Amino acid sequence: MTTFSKGFISRKGLGWPATAARAQVGNPLGVKVHYEGTVSPVRDHAYCKSYWTGIRNSHLANTKEGYSDIAYSMGVCRHGYVLEGRGPGHQTAANGNQALNRAHYSVCVLYGTNDHSVTEAVVTGVREAIQYLREHGAGKEIKGHRDGYATACPGDPLYALVKSGKFEPVKASTPRSIDKVNTDMTPEQDARLKRIEEGLAQKPWTYKNPKLTGDVPDMHQRVLDIEKKLDAILAKLK
Ligand SMILES: [Zn+2]
Ligand SMILES: [Zn+2]
């Protein structure tokens, strides 16, 4: 189950009816990331629901494309909340053509051409949206709208994160076995063990990692000191 650190806003929560979008045929290969492609107003989260509904309304009013619903599978607002669009199980209409729409779901970040960096909250929201779509059948691919279609979407800052793998959902950490077993530890011992575990999770594993060496003398320096002493002894022996 995907947990949403900021929140998940369903169609129901948005006051939308069930989607009339066509059913997804087979499982898509993964997800494509989008942005708005225009200037996106920087706004308070209080306006995000109506903003997302406004995007839906503009798609429904687009007679040229003949959309049956908002084109996107999911959205992520600039505050990191995940918004339901067509949702999984329905084909997106955002990727450019029928074949591309069948091949990937779509996640639209409510960023625009005026956004030059991506906040951690948005990165987390995109990961959660992708994980949610995977739970509902999406494959492992994470691509940008521009992959396979001539568009600037999702803009350079988001696309750089697509390419770097930053949107890959983080595996839920398995519950620590020590929570069950070592109930006899003192709070100090438990805190120390937790710190070491955090240190081990933080790569690279190095003697410079303060979480690992915070209360242990610097082993590297000790080795260097011993080597120095040996050198001094050897020099005297010569
Ligand atoms: Zn796009
Ligand atoms: Zn928001």
- The string of pLDDT tens digits covering residues 47-86 is 999 999 999 999 999 989 899 999 999 999 999 999 999 9
DSSP 85: S
d(CA 163, CA 211) in angstroms, rounded, equals 30
Query: Residue 162's closest CA among 107, 97, 93, 98?
Result: 107
Q: Among all ligands shown, which has an atom nearest to the Cα of 33?
A: 1
Distance 46 CA to ligand 2 centre (A): 7
User: What's the 153 CA to ligand 1 centre distance in angstroms?
Assistant: 5
Amino acid (1-letter code) at residue 80: G
Distance 111 CA to ligand 1 centre (A): 11
Q: What is the rounded average pLDDT for all residues in the chain?
A: 89
Query: pLDDT value at position 115?
Result: 97
pLDDT at 192: 79
Ligand 1 geometric centre to CA of 108 (Å): 7
42 alpha carbon, closest ligand:
2
Distance 48 CA to ligand 2 centre (A): 5
* Cβ count within 10 A of residue 113: 14
* Rounded Cα gap, residues 163 and 156, in angstroms: 10
**In which element (H, E) is residue 76 found?**
strand 74-76
Cα of 154 vs centre of ligand 1, distance in Å, is 6
**Helix (H) or strand (E) segment spanning residue 83:** strand 82-84
Q: Pairing between strand 104-109 and 74-76?
A: parallel
State the pLDDT at residue 208: 62
Q: Could you give the percent of the chain with pLDDT greater than 70?
A: 85
Separation of CA 120 and ligand 2 centre (Å):
14
Whether the bond between 175 and the residue before it is cis, its omega within 30 degrees of 0, is: no
Nearest ligand to the C-alpha atom of residue 145: 1
**Spatial contact of 105 and 32, defined as CB atoms under 8 Å apart:** yes
CATH 3.40.50.970 fits 8-164, yes or no: no
pLDDT digits (tens, 9 = 90+) for 9-38: 999 999 999 999 999 999 999 999 999 999
Q: What are the start and end residues of each CATH 3.40.80.10 domain in the chain? A: 8-164
Tell me which DSSP letter residue 169 carries: P
**Cα of 180 from ligand 1 centre, angstroms:** 47
Averaged pLDDT for residues 164-170: 95
Report whether 52 contacts 77 (CB < 8 A): yes
**Where does the chain have alpha helices with state H?**
11-14, 48-60, 98-103, 120-135, 156-164, 177-181, 187-201, 210-213, 219-237
User: Residue 171 — very low, low, confident or very high, per pLDDT cuts 50/70/90?
Assistant: confident
By residue count, the chain amounts to 238
Give the ligand at the shortest distance from the Cα of 78. Answer: 2
Q: Is the pLDDT of residue 175 over 60?
A: no
Of 31, 26, 7, 36, give the one whose Cα is nearest residue 162: 31
Closest ligand to 79 CA? 2
Q: Does residue 184 surpass a pLDDT of 80?
A: no
Segment 101-121, tens digit of pLDDT: 999 999 999 999 999 999 999
Q: Tell me the ligand closest to 95's alpha carbon.
A: 1
Report how far ligand 2's centroid is from the alpha carbon of 45 (Å). Answer: 4
pTM score: 0.73
Span from the CA of 49 to the centroid of ligand 2 (angstroms): 8
- Phi, psi (degrees; rounded to nearest 5) at 107: -125, 120
